Amino acid sequence: MEVHKPKPVHTWGELIGEIGIIVLGVLIALGAWQVVEILHWRHQVVETRVALRSELGDNANYAFLHRATYKCNAESLAHLRAALLKSGPAWKAHPVRYQALMFPWNTSVWRTAQTSGALAHMSPQELNGFADAYQYPTSFLDQETHAQDNAAELDLLTEDMNLGDGMRARMLAAVNHAERENRLMAIGAKAFLEAAAVQSVTLSEPAKQHLQAQVGGPDADCYPRPKVG
């Protein structure tokens, strides 16, 4: 079998031509790789954006429910305070209609996006918008935990009891704490919904009506209210 040896380069022009071909091939390969990389991250950003909006949408439902229960909770707590101040030492069992909601505020998609590298390929404006919305869920979990503690304390008022030995002050303090958490939660929920809306996450009117039906609306009769299942 005859082996053909490559022809030797005889001139500088031929050498430069050979190098040029090699360089061109490398540049083409690098360009193709960059195109593939750009398309990959573009696809990743699109998928991440959709997943983040979906997660924010779930959390927006919870925030809306807190907004929806704010007025009735405020009225219930004001009613409890008036009853505590009016009552003598012998407290008669009283219904407590303060509704302390608890939801599974999820941020798993956001945490995954932070480690996947997809966020680095978003525009600074979009990234800051998502970061702004995701600053709220963790604080909501803490506030809901406090609200649950307040609700457990106020449940003592559903039984006959003696308001002596500082018990009246203790119950009034529980009312104050519950009012504070109710107010802060409503303010935070409003801010969260506004931040989510910037990322195109909003609740439709049918969705709002469906959620509102679970807890009653601002103009609805707060006594009694259905419980959130």
> Tens of pLDDT along 106-132?
999 999 998 888 888 889 999 999 999
Per-residue pLDDT for 103 more than 60? yes
Q: Is residue 52 part of a domain?
A: yes
- For residue 222, the SS3 value is coil
Q: Is residue 155 part of a domain?
A: yes
pLDDT, residue 27, reads 60
pLDDT, residue 37, reads 59
What the block records as the tokens of 13 is 């022009």
pLDDT, residue 229, reads 40
Amino acid at 137: P
Average pLDDT, the chain: 84
Residue 180 burial (10 A CB sphere; 0-12, 13-18, 19+): middle
Q: Is residue 63 part of a domain?
A: yes
Q: Is residue 125 part of a domain?
A: yes
Q: Is residue 186 part of a domain?
A: yes
DSSP state of 63: H
14 confidence band (pLDDT: 50, 70, 90): low
Number of domains in the chain: 1
Higher-confidence residue: 73 or 227?
Answer: 73
User: For 180-186, what is the mean pLDDT?
Assistant: 95
In terms of residue numbers, what domain contains 132?
Answer: 12-215
168 confidence band (pLDDT: 50, 70, 90): very high
Q: Is residue 27 part of a domain?
A: yes
Whole-angstrom Cα distance, residue 229 to residue 214? 8
- For residue 175, the SS3 value is helix
11 confidence band (pLDDT: 50, 70, 90): low
For CA atoms 200, 205, 211, 215, the dihedral sign is positive
23 confidence band (pLDDT: 50, 70, 90): low
Q: Is residue 206 part of a domain?
A: yes
Q: Is residue 61 part of a domain?
A: yes
Per-residue pLDDT for 81 more than 50? yes
